[in-house]
Amino acid sequence: MASRPDRRHVAWFLAIAAVGLGLRLLFAPWLSGNDDLALAGPAIDLLHHGWQIPTSNYGADYGMTVPLAGIFAVLGVGLPQLGLLPLVVSIAGIYVAWRIGTILFDPVVGLIAAAAFACFPMSVQFSTLFFPDQPQGVAMAIAFLCGLNSARAVRGGAWWAVAAGAWWAYAYYVRIDAFFMGFVFLAAVGLGYIRWRHLFVIGGVTGVLVGAELVVFDRLTGNPFYHAELEERAANEVLSPTMNYRDLITYPKVMFLTPYEAGLHFYLLAAGMIGAVVRRRRPALMLAIWVAIFIVWLMFGIDPFHHPVRLKPQLGRYLQEISVPMTVLIGWFLVGLYRRVSRVGAMALGTVALVVAVVFMQFNLLNFEPALATVRATQAAERHGWFPLYADSQSAGIVAFLLYGSPLADQAHPAQQHDFLTGTTTFAAIPGRKAYLVINHDYVRQLHERNLETPITPDRFGMAATTVYTVNNPEPPLSYAILRALAALARWVAVPGLSAHIQATAHTVLLPDDARIYLLRRTP
């Protein structure tokens, strides 16, 4: 096994972790208005009403909703509280990458692995967003680290195995496809990193903890796989014919064609996996197998509860499930390149990867422009007392969350609601002679193009509409400057379709008038 890190290595790790924290706070979006608020709702319900049989897949994600309910109970409800758990998890990922890299290889590889995780754009982007992907990936990596420690421990190995099983079960309660971590543990046994007796302990603990859910749901609903059924229902949303969440190009595109989401990390991962196969280094092969298992599942996994059988939904953010083994393998590759091939080449490659990653961290804030526009509009409404306040379907959830616990909360209402499973849109009747309406034009356009939602307009309510507030491009100016530069460079892209797509996307994002508040008055 590798040598233990000395004080110098620990100091370097703390510096890397501090930089990672700084990057996450500097480029923190805090809110997307999508899955994060869909998970916050069940957490608030759990806090006030206790446990109930969930009616959505989000309500069954107890690995997310239970800790969040605890945070809300202690710290109150708000955006910083919503982003606290993912931020802690993201920093924990830096530590886990360091420890696994140190154990499997040496302290230097561990440090480069930690640095690779610290500057992984996707990790930074989701580090303050309450999404399940990064917590699940880090939880599985902690389970693997505990499994490694079970074999290394002179005494107490069985307790490390118990911890590994508990973390694996927790990963399942974050999202159920953590099941496939079992194949990683089998590979670790085959390669000599975990003992068979400890694997039985790991599996037994996980089985008991996960089995508790199966038993409870079986008794209360008659279906032990009720959780999986909820996941399957959620995947049946009505989509535009142009939208396809089961396209096999999704993950290759994110990994190799859109570096703003992942930087150069997946290029370095591919080099590391090739190196692992060519050099047949046992620890590198362990990581390559881990990555391969989940990439195969993500790309070719099926939805077993749907008839006919189909591929499971594919979203680029799911790749965070492999962020820890990926960054450890990157660390091994870069250190090997430095030691055996070219010091200058390795340092140059690492520097370029770092610069690209940081540039795109700034750029990626544009992904959350719609949410920030609604936040800015809500803040303006609070300042000016523009209530009662109605909002488009997506903005309504943001407004309600921001005003939670405020005396103004009962004066915020959805003007529009959309049923994603039936594809139907309904509009509220606005009573009284005067009200205010928030319309986020980015959300309206996105949901119409993706889910066929009927667009909301201020004239739909039979009242005279006057604009009182407009939000224009609320993200930092540097983010838009990077976008303009990329759009200019896209003219030189040899693939016409790709060039046109980049320029069209840039044009749409750069449009002003992201959100408006209208004063609605009923005329005699």
| Max CA separation in the chain (angstroms) | 84
Lowest mean pLDDT among 235-249, 398-412, 446-460: 235-249
Within a 10 A sphere around the Cβ of 465, how many other Cβ atoms? 17
Give pLDDT tens digits for 30-41.
Answer: 999 999 999 999
Q: Which residues contact 356 (CB under 8 A, 6 or more apart)?
A: 259, 263, 264
- Model pLDDT for residues 423-437, shown as the tens digit of each residue: 999 999 999 999 999
Q: What is the pLDDT of residues 35-65, one digit of tens each?
A: 999 999 999 999 999 999 999 999 999 999 9
Please, which pLDDT band fits residue 310 given cuts at 50, 70 and 90?
A: confident
Question: Nearest Cα to 193, choosing from 103, 321, 273?
Answer: 103
* Single-letter residue type at 199: L
> Helices in 258-342 by DSSP H: which ranges?
259-262, 265-279, 282-300, 323-340
> 388: cis peptide before it, omega within 30°?
yes
Q: What is the pLDDT of residue 421?
A: 86
**What's the CA gap between 246 and 318, in Å, rounded?**
13
- What mean pLDDT do residues 294-315 have? 81
User: What residues are paired with 517 via a beta bridge?
Assistant: 438, 469
> What integer pLDDT is reported at residue 240 of this predicted model?
81
pLDDT of residue 236: 79
Q: What is the β-pairing status of strands 310-311 and 302-303?
A: antiparallel
For the segment 375-416, what is each residue's pLDDT rounded down to a tens digit?
A: 999 999 999 999 999 999 999 999 999 999 999 999 999 999
Write the DSSP symbol of residue 310.
E
Which DSSP state fits 364? G
Q: How many CB atoms lie within 10 A of CB 150?
A: 25
Contacts of 254 (CB under 8 A, 6+ apart): 261, 262, 266, 316, 319
Question: How high is the mean pLDDT of the chain?
Answer: 93
Inter-CA distances, 294 with 187, 224, 327, 447, Å: 13, 25, 15, 30
Stated as kind and residue range, the H or E segment containing 71 is helix 62-75
Structure tokens at 118: 């610290």
pLDDT at 494 over 70: no
200 pLDDT more than 60: yes
Task: Give the pLDDT of residue 391.
Answer: 97
Q: Are 164 and 207 in contact (CB under 8 A)?
A: no
pLDDT, tens only, 267-287: 999 999 999 999 999 999 999
pLDDT exceeding 90 applies to what percent of the chain?
81
pLDDT band per the 50, 70, 90 thresholds, residue 232: confident
Q: Regarding beta strands 434-440 and 389-391, do their DSSP bridges make them parallel or antiparallel, or are they unpaired?
A: parallel
pTM of the model: 0.94
**What radius of gyration do the chain's Cα atoms show?**
24
Dump pLDDT digits (tens) for 316-372: 999 999 999 999 999 999 999 999 999 999 999 999 999 999 999 999 999 999 999
Is residue 3's pLDDT more than 60?
no
253-262 pLDDT, tens digit each: 899 987 888 9
What CA–CA distance (Å, rounded) separates 289 from 292? 5
Q: Is residue 18 over pLDDT 90? A: yes
For residue 500, count other CB atoms closer than 10 A to its CB.
Answer: 13
Answer whether residue 4 shows pLDDT above 80: no
Return the pLDDT at 368. 95
pLDDT band at residue 247 under the 50/70/90 scheme: confident
φ, ψ at 2 (rounded to 5°): -70, 160
What's residue 301's pLDDT?
83
| Spacing of C-alpha 273 from chain mean position | 24
- pLDDT of residue 496 exceeding 80, the answer is no
What are the φ and ψ backbone dihedral angles of 263, each rounded to 5 degrees? 60, -145
String of DSSP letters for 203-239: HHHHHHHHHHHHHHHHHHHS-TTHHHHHHHHHTT---
Task: Report the distance separating Cα 335 and Cα 283, nearest Å.
Answer: 14
Distance CA 46, CA 26 (A): 32
- 499 exposure class (CB count in 10 Å sphere: 0-12, 13-18, 19+): middle
> CB neighbours of 427 closer than 8 A, spacing ≥ 6?
415, 416, 417, 456, 460, 461
CA dihedral 116, 121, 125, 127 (to 10 degrees): 0
Q: Is the pLDDT of residue 1 over 70?
A: no
Give the C-alpha separation, 408 to 411, whole Å. 5
